[in-house]
Structure formats: C-alpha cells, structure tokens
Amino acid sequence: MKKSILIFSLLFSVVILHSQQQYTDSLGKIINNSKLTFEQVQPAYEELINYFLNENPDTAEVIAKNYWKFSKRIANEKGLAEAEFFLGKAAEIKGEYIKAEKHFQNAVELYSKLENISGHADSEKHIGFLYESQSEYDKALSHYLSAMKLFEKAKDDQGIASCNNGIGHIYFLQDKVEESLKYFNKAQEQLQKIDNPYAKAIVLNNIGMAYDKKNDFSKAMDNYQKALTIQQEIDNPYGVALCLTNIGNLYSKDGAYTQAKKYYDDVLKLNEQLGDQEGIARTYANIGIMYQDQGNFGMAMDYVNKSLNLYESLGNKFGMKEAYATLSGIYEASSDFKSALNYYKYFTEYKDSILGEKSNKQIAELLELYNAEQREKENELLKKNNQLKDSELEKADEKSRRQATQLIALSAGFLLILVLAIVVLRSYHQKKRANVKLSQQNDEIKHQKEVIEEKNRDIMDSIKYAKRIQEAILPPDKVVKSNLENSFIFFKPKDIVSGDFYWMETRDNIILFAAVDCTGHGVPGAFMSIVGHSGLSQAVNEYGITEPGKILDKLNERVRETLRQTDKTEVKDGMDIALVGLDLEHMKGMFAAANNPMYLIRRKGANLITDKKEFEADKEGVDHVLFEIKATKQPIGATEDTKNFVNHVFDLQKSDRIYVFSDGYCDQFGGSENKKFKYATFKKLLLEKIDMPIHDQKAFLNDTIVDWMKDTEQIDDICVIGVEV
C-alpha cells in the first residue's frame, strides 16, 4: 500500500505575520478614519487582512467584508475586486470551497473589467487550486492554463512558475511521475529568476515527492532536507509540517519505523497547534499505514478510521479514496475478506470519479489546446515576417516598374507623363482609402468577436457554477447505497444543468425516493429542480410527513406559494413526479405520483393488491409479469381544480423490482424511422432483462438509448431509478 502523500501545488505567496498589538491598532485607526481617501485607506486594509489571513481567517473575512462595503459605498471597482479576492482566500483557507469559488469568480469579472491582468490571473489560479483540492483535475487544469496565459502576457515569472507547479501536481496525483517532474523542473527553472524562498521550498518538496514515488530514496531525501531548511529559515510552520511529514513517510517506507514515528508525532503536535484539520487527517493516515506495515492491524484501523472521519467532514475525495484503499488492505491482511471487499468497492467508486477516462481525456485535450495555441502564435509571427519580406520585395519591383515607365514616358513627352502621373496618383488614393476601410472593418469584426466570446465565457461559467450547485442537492452514491444496496440511478441530463433530478430521504425507518421531471430542461428546469428538492425535503424533515400522497399535497402547496401561483396566474411551471416509500422492516410499499407511473415486476403467479383492489398484469414475460400503478393525472404546480394525490399501499415480496422515471427515456426519438422509443418498448425491455443484476441495468439502459439515438440529438433530460427488494 502506498503512503499517503502531502504536497503543496499553488500557494507561492507567503504572508509575514506580526504580533504587535500596536501595529494592528494603528492600522485599525487608519481604516476607521472617515476623512481619508481610498488611496490612503487601501494599503491599511491590505496589510491588516494579510496580517490575519493564515492564523485567523475568520477575522480576515470580517475585515474583507468591511473593505467590500467601503468600496461599494464609494463605487470603487478596484477595491471591490481586491475585497472579493481576499474573501475568496479566507474561504479557501477555511475549506469553504464553493463560497471561495464564488468570490474568486466575482474577482475575475471585476479584474477583467479593470484590465488588471495580474489580479485576473491570480484569481484564475486560485479557482484552479479549489478544483484541484476537490479532485476535479480537468477543471483545475483549465483554470491553471487560463492563468498561465495571463501571467505570460504580464511577463510574471512567479505566476508562470506557480501554474507549472500546479500542472505538475495534477500529473503527480494521477501517478504520471515523469510528466509531473517535467513541470516541477520548469517551475524550478522559472524560480531561479526570482527571490522567493517560500516558492522554491514548495517546488523542492514536490520534486522530492516525485523521486519518493520513483523509490529514489537519496534524491527524495536531498530535496526534502533542502525544502525543510528553507521553511525553517523563513519560519513557516505549515511548510515545516509538510517537510517533516514527507521525511517521516520516507523513513517509514524504508522500514525505519522508530524514526518515522518520531517525525509523525512532531507533525501531529504542530498540526494541532495550527488547527490544520487536513494535516491532522494525513498524519493519522500515515501512522495507520506505518502500523499496517508492522502488522499491528488494530492500531492501524484506529488511526486510518480517524483519518477517514476527518476527510469525510472536510469533503476531501482524494483523502477518502486513500483511506478506503488502506482499510481494504488492512482487512484483507486480517483475513476479514468481506470488510476488505466493501472498502475496496468504496475505493473504486471514488477512484473512478477522480481518475476516470473522461477526466484524463479532458486534461489531455486542454493541454493540447494550450500547446496548439502556442504553436499558432509562433506560426502567426512567422507568417507576418514572411508577409513583411514579400511586401518589401513587391515594393522593390513596383519601384523598378515605375522607373521603367518614367523612362518610356520621357520619350513620349511631358503630356503623357502628366496623364500617367494623374492616373497613378488617383489609383493610389483609391487603394489607400480601400485599405483604411478594410482595416476598420477588420478591427470592428475582431472587436465584435471578442465581445461575443467574452459573453459566451461568462454565460458558460455561470451555467457550470449552477451545475455544481445542482449536483450538491443530489443524494451522494454512498447515501443511496447505504439505504438501497440493490439499486441504480440512471441520470443523463440533456444540457449542462438539468430539469430532472432524483431525491432521497429516510424517516421513521421508511426509505423515500423519487424521480422528478420539472418544466423544461437546462437553466429554467434547473431553477424548478431547486424549488422541488426544497419542498420535498421540507415536507419530510420539517413537517414529519412519510406518506407519499401527503408529501405531494404539501409539495404542491409549497410550489404554488413559492411561485405565487393562482388559478389565473401566467406562471404555469411545475413538475411531474413518481414518489415511492419503502418500509423494508414490515415489507410494505407506498406510491403516489403526479402524471408519471411506477412499474413493479414480480414472478408469475403472484398478484398485486393496493387498497383492496387487485391489479391485472400490464405485460407478461417468460417468468415475470409487470404491473403498472398509474399516477394522479395532475402536475405539481398551477392547475385548475386541484385535488389530493392518491396514495397506493401494497405488500412487498422478496426480489420485487420497482422502477420510477421521467418521460425522457420513452420520448426519445431515434431508430431507423426516427420515432419515439415509447413506453411499451420500455416495459418489454425491462421484462426481457429481468434476470440481469440490478446494478448492471444502468449501463445497459445507457447503451440501449445511445444506440437508439445514434446521430439524433437528445431531446430531454433522462432519469430512471431501479430498486430490487
């Protein structure tokens, strides 16, 4: 099992902290002096925020908010941009990544408007670091490359070095060691031009990590010791903790456990003093792995579980993945193969989400795009040089021709010379006017292109941010599996954001889940999905309702109130929903729906009774039958003659399969005649594949609909939930 890693990728700027109360008091007096101008107050705000940023980010955040209010009051966009940037840094240090990204995005917009390249680049770089911290490497790389271009434009060597370091870090986390060394060395070369010992220490440490992964003990230790010396000289406790941890890992990896434990104990004390929760989690993990290597599995489990709990509270996917892998190995070595398999499943789920093929492909495409742009710039420069040479040759030829014409004209007489001169002069002026007009048109086209591209970028950035918010409301895979082990959720949005969503809650031993289809798709549908999710959760958690029919009644009421809908309203937005409740302890099921039905498949010979009414099978297969429980024919939202939703109650049987879905799958066009897939085909498909394991049906449904669509565009969002009792 590989050792847990600790590596810095971005923070090249070090803050010198002071301790004198007199210092902070004097800065505070400057800030509170209402007679001073922005130019007089701005440096005090900047120094005071930096003073508190690392050791007390909450205080730094309060001061940055005051800075923002001050800048807003006097309408100073420079101050607003700096305040947004500082608010982003404070949230970043506290691990509040969504909040931090919002502030950095605001800073990007303001700095771009001010044409402040350095501020724009720094903000892009920090957004890249936020994505990297959340293991979204393709997005991180995109922002690092954007920052790199801006730093190159500004000729900022330190900024370029930090971006190279960040890209190297991404490769390192994907076990592409040679590629990571390539970028770390680029960063080190760039830093030779700069007097920044903090940045040099970070890169030295990262190079040590790369050699550590290559099992080159000597080079790894050499780079760690150099980095540690610098961090001690500049009195940076975070950097010292980083280096001590990596040296401890190196000793543990080499079997020198006594020396390793000494380093780990020192690091743990230092991280506790600093309040660095991620540092504490990493140290717990490293100690656990050391005990595992020694065969002390009890101590190993204790420490790795401590690490996992901290990583889960911090939302650190990479740390959770490593902890799951370590626990799987410990249980396997302890001959507890069932537990080992469970933790290995968790590990593979997180590994796939972090290091999936799609992410790798996007990273490769982004790098190729950046390199192509660089080549294009070089080709454009070469082309301009060639055009300049051609222009000079043309001018020389024109001069020769003109001289020849003049010699001929002299022999023809003065009159002919005058006529030719007039013709030539007139032609020259016409050509000059045409060139000026063409140049103006080209400038206008270029300007319009830049405006359109900028607006498109702003729109796409906003939509992508909306996607992250929407993803946050969906129940995580781990929660779904813990409640419904034998299940799948097939979710395929048409656009970046979706009008479909799925929902899950548990209360009083009843598992509630739903497939929801909001009006429209894309951004309008996404807005409705937030309203729907909030209403469902409120009905269960605040009002304590667990009966699906009553939940939908309450949701209908909340949606109408939220959208201020009446019988005469013009806002007719709403949603269709299929909601299931399972009481597995008593083998009872409940179902209520707005427009969308539920399918239940069970073995032939078994009946289905709800509310003393026996259902007839809707479709029969070889050994199984499919029952359709229809929905109440009205949507959630504005509608005339609103009625209560019917709640169906039925007995569950072992191996029952329940399916709820939106209309996107069955309404999709495709096939040889470009027709809808249809519900009858969907029922037949489910019956034919009833012997397929429930977990495999997700991939099967995806392959089927993709094959059905072929070159046809997806027309709507798709959501299908399948559960086996």
Q: How do residues 153-210 score in pLDDT, each as one tens digit?
A: 999 999 999 999 999 999 898 888 999 999 999 999 999 888 889 899 999 999 999 9
Q: pLDDT by residue (tens digit) across 550-580?
A: 999 999 988 888 776 554 554 567 899 999 9
Q: Find how far residue 522's CA is from the centre of its chain.
A: 18
Structure tokens belonging to residue 156: 């900022």
- The CATH H-level (homologous superfamily) assignment of domain 7-195 is Tetratricopeptide repeat domain (1.25.40.10)
Q: What's the burial of 327, exposed, middle or buried (CB within 10 Å: 0-12/13-18/19+)?
A: buried
Distance CA 370, CA 375 (A): 9
Distance CA 533, CA 13 (A): 42
Count of Cβ atoms closer than 10 Å to residue 423 Cβ: 10
Sign of CA dihedral 157, 163, 167, 168: positive
DSSP string, 606-665: --EEETTEEEPPSEE-SSEEEEEEPPBSS-EES-SS--PPP-EEEE--TT-EEEEE-STT
In the block, residue with structure tokens 């920044």:
196
User: Residue 19 region, left (φ>0) first, then alpha (ψ -120 to 50), else beta?
Assistant: alpha
Cα radius of gyration (the chain): 33
Q: Where are the domains of the chain?
A: 7-195, 391-467, 474-724
Distance CA 138, CA 69 (A): 35
Read off the pLDDT band of 276 (50, 70, 90): confident
Helix H, strand E, coil C: the string for 515-541 is EEEECCCHHHHHHHHHHHHHHHHHHHH
Q: What is the pLDDT of residue 15?
A: 40
Q: pLDDT by residue (tens digit) across 307-321?
A: 999 988 887 887 888
Is residue 548 over pLDDT 60?
yes
Q: pLDDT by residue (tens digit) across 17-31?
A: 344 454 555 566 566
The fold adopted by the segment(s) 474-724 is Phosphatase 2c; domain 1 (3.60.40)
CA nearest 522: which of 721, 715, 720, 358? 715
Mean pLDDT lowest for which of 286-300, 436-450, 493-507?
Answer: 436-450
Is residue 119 over pLDDT 80?
yes
Count of Cβ atoms closer than 10 Å to residue 263 Cβ: 22
What's the whole-model pTM score? Answer: 0.44
Count of Cβ atoms closer than 10 Å to residue 228 Cβ: 21
Q: What is the pLDDT of residue 20?
A: 44
Q: What is the pLDDT of residue 676?
A: 93
Q: What's the burial of 170, exposed, middle or buried (CB within 10 Å: 0-12/13-18/19+)?
A: buried
CA nearest 273: which of 304, 244, 233, 241? 241
Distance CA 507, CA 182 (A): 53
Q: Are strands 624-629 and 636-637 parallel, antiparallel or unpaired?
A: unpaired
